[in-house]
A and B are shown apart, each in its own frame.
Chain A
């Protein structure tokens, strides 16, 4: 099973600043990686697929990069609604697996 490891577990950032979240795969997943945002009490929301393609309706301040085993989600100029938990997910192999999440909190 592909293991996805996210870091850091918690990231404290001030509104208006930028944030960088990391995701590492135990084996290469190519570009078959997605990022999701989950706010309290809500379903996950797709942000990025294919490592760097923004999903429909996602603001340009969200960007994804990487390939193989190392991936990054960058959020520029954090807005209040961006403070949430972020998950990466690989879909290169079955079973699909998620990282444990990064909690982005207000500093």
Chain B
């Protein structure tokens, strides 16, 4: 059974960089043809797609965040990560990781999500 688990600091200071990791179990990132993505949800609001990465390293980012976001993959640890720089209070959200089976972009498996609060 495929499982995804987000991890990282729950509190980040304004102007700093938010860093989260998604650990995948039950499947090998390098052995699949899937995309792996990050989605966020501010408290009480809707879903925003952040970006996705292929095991080879190819990435697609939301243009609204592209200048601040980097998604990377570590196949040796079966993990993928997101970094969001220069955060503000508007980046406070629950961050989810998800799998996208090719060639689509829908998420069929999701992590439980992790709340990241940006505050001094």
Contacts and interface: CB of A to CB of B under 8 A. Distances in A.
Contacts of A97: 49
Interface string B62-103: 111000000000000000000000000000000010001000
B49 A43 contact: no
B111 to A, nearest CB: 7
Contacts of A34: 106-107
Contacts of B110: 43-45
B33 to A, nearest CB: 16
Interface in A77-105: 87, 89, 91, 94-101
Contacts of A91: 100, 104-106
Contacts, number: 59
Contact of A95 (B60, B104, B112): B60
How many A residues touch the partner, as a band? 20 to 34
B96 A43 contact: yes
A43 to B, nearest CB: 4
A44 B47 contact: yes
B60 A98 contact: no
A98 B108 contact: no
Contacts of B63: 1, 95
Contacts of A36: 47, 107
Contacts of B62: 95
Interface of A: 1, 32, 34, 36, 42-46, 49-50, 55-56, 87, 89, 91, 94-101
